[in-house]
Amino acid sequence: MSVAIANAKPRGSLIVFEGCDRTGKTTQSEKLVDRLKQDGIETQLMKTPDRKSETGKLIDRFLHNEIELEKHAAQLIFAANRWEKIPEIKSLLSSGTTVVIDRYVASGVAYGAAMGLPVKWCSQNNVGHPEPDLVVYLKLSAEAASKRKGYGEERFEKEKIQQQIANTFDDLKEDSWKIIDGDKSVEDIHAQIDNIAKQVIEESKFKELGTLE
């Protein structure tokens, strides 16, 4: 749990978007970053998996069904891809830059569970990651998500799998998560998230950054 730090330099906040496929995470994370920048708040957008790195290129091929990977190996590659970003995330936060991430550790665990892996085993791969100051969980029914543009292009975009992932998210969610109805208009969702994010950014400036255990 984060605690206040006396006489410390203000840090950035770690804001994470989670949810199943096609729930609007990318749209909303990009809109939030644009808005925060417009309001003079130093902000950096990240996405995991980062498909441009060497591990990310492998993940992209896996998600597009171009290659097969043993499930444990696949989960470890996803975890490695996130670990590659941790030094940069910590550096940005300590410099006062807020980091907004499209998918983080909860997604890693939920999608690993969808491959048949134990939640506890998947979670252990994330021990030591910075703890988010805010988790925005965009919730949308698998049926509604399946009607959105681009659905079905990747490995996990099947209604049955998405329902399994949603169930795991529900098991993982904590009281601090902000659950947003992904079926509302883009602008309504953005306005809601913008208000929540700015409050969290102000409150976490002088709190010690937590670490996942």
Model pLDDT for residues 123-165, shown as the tens digit of each residue: 999 999 999 999 999 998 877 877 777 788 899 999 899 999 9
What pLDDT is recorded for position 57? 97
pLDDT given for residue 7 in this prediction: 54
- Are 186 and 27 in contact by the 8 Å Cβ rule? The answer is yes
Do residues 169 and 106 touch, judged by C-beta distance below 8 A?
Answer: yes
Quick one: pLDDT band at residue 2, thresholds 50, 70, 90?
low
Bridge-based pairing of strands 134-139 and 14-18 is: parallel
26-34 LR contacts (CB < 8 Å, sep 24+): 26/102, 27/186, 28/136, 28/138, 28/186, 28/189, 28/190, 28/193, 29/100, 29/101, 29/102, 31/186, 31/190, 32/100, 32/190, 32/193, 32/194, 32/197, 33/100
- Stretch among 5-19, 25-39, 40-54 having the lowest mean pLDDT: 5-19
Fold classification of 14-204 is: Rossmann fold (3.40.50)
Confirm if 23 and 103 have CB atoms less than 8 A apart.
no
Q: pLDDT for 103-125, tens place per residue?
A: 999 999 999 999 999 999 999 99
Strand order in the sheet with 14-18: 43-47, 98-102, 14-18, 134-139, 178-181
43: its two tokens: 């902000």
pTM of the predicted structure, to 2 decimals:
0.92
> Is 93 in contact with 209 (CB distance < 8 Å)?
yes
DSSP-based three-state secondary structure for 93:
helix
With 70 as the cut, is the pLDDT of residue 6 above it?
no
Within 8 A by CB and 6+ apart from 203, the residues are 133
What's the sign of the alpha-carbon dihedral 126, 165, 187, 34?
Answer: positive
